[in-house]
């Protein structure tokens, strides 16, 4: 059975998240229904990351197996046609070996969180969190630096997180500003449930002057969910990219 790797973008606003659930429509469901219309049989689509309700993606990756071969551009274009008018698009499709797994073959995941730091409401930008009070991005970066590296991130994971271990290695947590736009980029091999939004909400407290960078260290060391700052809303979070080992790299 031929296997295809899909690179997907979506507006997560109308969805209950990536994974199929009983309480609403999921991105995975939209893709699986499109795949079934293309090949005529139920088809499982497996994703690299289980984004939550309202979280967006520009670089989600998934794989699926078809019972018969199709050209990669046919898979892309036909499934996109079957998903209209839902806000989901396959931006690239390629045939891969059956040893490729969108989740387990991933070596890094990159998230972007967007904050628009202004008092007026957002009329057009749905993929952002508006923070009306001024943010000190330099202080936020100082707080972010306390989280880089390998740590027990119990404080920054949801109570319902099903990961076996709270220990993760955070490779990157960068805070930058361009005008009123504050962007936070986080990279790691894998993240805990709600980890990025929990870190962003805590860093916002630093940026607002309510926390000091030392308070971020104390929260991390507490290894306790109540020590976390407020969780940032889902609307500003984007799964931007998933990295895989390429043929010319050592495995």
Catalytic annotation, residues = 52
- The answer to whether the Cα torsion of 56, 57, 61, 63 is positive or negative is positive
> Backbone phi, then psi, for 138, in 5-degree steps?
-65, -40
For the chain, state the CA radius of gyration.
Answer: 19
Question: CA 39 to CA 82: how far, in whole Å?
Answer: 12
Closest to 185 measured CA to CA, from 238, 242, 222:
238
CB 227 within 8 A of CB 202: no
Rounded to 5 degrees, what angle do the CA atoms 29, 31, 34 make?
110
Q: Count of residues for the chain?
A: 251
d(CA 203, CA 115): 12
66, 12 Cβ separation under 8 angstroms: no
Question: Strands 129-130 and 181-188, how do they pair?
Answer: unpaired
């Amino acid at each position: 059975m031929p296997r295809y790797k899909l690179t997907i973008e979506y507006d997560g606003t109308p969805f209950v998240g990536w994974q199929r659930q009983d309480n609403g429509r999921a991105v995975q469901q939209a893709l699986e229904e499109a795949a079934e219309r293309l090949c005529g049989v139920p088809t499982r689509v497996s994703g690299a990351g289980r984004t939550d309700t309202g979280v967006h993606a520009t670089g989600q990756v998934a794989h699926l197996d078809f019972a018969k071969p199709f050209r990669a551009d046919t898979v892309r274009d036909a499934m996109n046609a079957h998903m209209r008018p839902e806000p989901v698009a396959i931006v690239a499709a390629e045939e891969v070996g059956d040893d490729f797994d969108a989740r387990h073959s991933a070596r890094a995941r990159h998230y972007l969180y967007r904050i628009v730091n202004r008092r007026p409401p957002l009329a057009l930008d749905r993929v952002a969190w508006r923070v009306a009070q001024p943010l000190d991005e330099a202080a936020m970066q100082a707080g972010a630096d306390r989280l880089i590296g390998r740590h027990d991130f119990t404080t920054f994971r949801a109570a319902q997180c099903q990961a076996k271990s709270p220990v993760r290695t955070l490779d990157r947590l960068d805070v930058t500003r361009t005008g009123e736009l504050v962007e936070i980029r986080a990279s790691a091999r894998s993240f805990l449930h709600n980890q990025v939004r929990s870190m962003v909400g805590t860093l916002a407290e630093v940026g607002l002057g309510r926390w000091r960078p030392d308070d971020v260290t104390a929260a991390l060391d507490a290894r306790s969910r109540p020590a976390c700052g407020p969780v940032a809303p889902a609307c500003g979070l984007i799964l931007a990219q998933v990295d895989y080992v390429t043929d010319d790299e050592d495995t």
